[in-house]
Amino acid sequence: MKAATFEFLRQRFSSYYGNARLIPPPSVPQREWAFIFFEPDAADTHMRRHLGFETRDEVFSYIRSMVPAHAYYSTAYYSRPGAPTMGEKGWLGADLIFDLDADHLMRGPYDRMLERVREETEKLLEMLTGELGFSQKDVEVVFSGGRGYHVHVRDPAVRDFGSSERREIIDYVCGIGLDPGRVLSHRTHSPRGWHHRYIDALAEYLLWLESLEEKERVATLTALEGVGKTTAEEFIRRVPSILSLLESAPADLSLRDPVISRVIRGLSSDREGRFLALLRDRAALADEPVTTDTKRLIRMPSSLHGGSGFRVTPLAPGELPGFDPLVDAVVFSDREVAVEVAFPLTMPILGSVYRLEKGYARVPEALAVFLCCRGAAEIAGGSRA
């Protein structure tokens, strides 16, 4: 990063922090704090952590004077958060955190990635409040400022959960470890849950299987572990009756029948197969290690993301459907700034789409900050006609 770009970003971030209403997490004195700063020509990223503050004003004063590129706090509560080692901090519990990142879901244009990860976050919120019993008042959604969302659950009932209990929750929302026999035999009057998701996915798979030519059907099933040609042919013959059962009485679909059992268990163990892909489409694909980690650092809502310049934006769950990060998380102006673009790119921001070629360009300040943070542009020197 050139000196002019470094100075531009630091000035813009300083201006924001000097005027913004900052939002601290609950229990500031029990949180560890960490920061990454703008460092021109630094080969490696250095984090300054193991910091503790007694009050929110101390946190705000530090941020405004130091102007970090990234600001984090611990999801855990500690008796001595500023202690230099994790063992000395005195763990008291932790919020339940979910991290949904578009990088784990798809590759493509930035705006499409943001749309996709919002859909995944909406699925997660429905599971948390509609199936796992968390109250919306204990759930906060935060746009990360980058390519995803964080979901914070601050229900005191889960604060003391260890990694194993958190693993059970993330396995549920991600649909990991589903046992076909138990899922199919589960009788419930609820329209929600994995019983219904599994049935819907299996029905969709069977309808797809029926659409294939006879040889393709047999080849598809015999590719499954434990399924031979005779089993495949018999299962295909029964597909219409199985579909009827899935619609009217799925709990009567017995996996004690060897033909049905071999195929369904084969489908459920085929990691790269179509059926598990259909199940994943019905899951909420959060980042598992983040949820199981009881000592995680997370971005501070209302801070800026040093990789985009966007605001790390807190939302109530009901605000998510109408939230547009490329408008609502943008804090900088539309005044023109001259930049040298590193490569051709297209970027939507503040309701307009900018198509830039490599080289000199004049763009809105908000886009200039984004491009410079991303390493896709430098501040242009001198004047141009």
**Catalytic residue list:** 99, 101, 287
CA distances from 271 to 20, 46, 64, 172, 281 (A): 47, 38, 49, 17, 14
Instruction: Specify the 3-state DSSP secondary structure of 181.
Output: helix
* Residues in contact with 150: Cβ distance below 8 Å, sequence separation at least 6, in sequence order: 97, 98, 99, 100, 141, 142, 144, 298, 299
For tokens 């601290």, name the residue.
24
How many other CB atoms sit within 10 Å of the CB of residue 203? Answer: 17
- Using only the alpha carbons of the chain, give its radius of gyration: 25
* Token pair recorded at residue 96: 């339940």
Give the dihedral sign, CA 165/143/107/44: negative
* Structure-block tokens of residue 146: 């980058």
368, 377 contact by CB (below 8 A): yes
Residues near 323 by Cβ (< 8 Å), separated by ≥ 6?
118, 143, 313, 315
Q: In angstroms, what CA-CA distances link 313 with 71, 151, 306, 316, 323?
A: 13, 12, 14, 10, 10
Judge contact between 1 and 45, C-beta under 8 A. Answer: no
> How far is 174 from 191, CA to CA, in rounded Å?
18
Residue with tokens 């609502």: 328
Q: In Å, what is the CA distance from 195 to each residue of 22, 182, 239, 273, 281? A: 43, 9, 19, 20, 15
User: CA 269 to CA 95: how far, in whole Å?
Assistant: 33
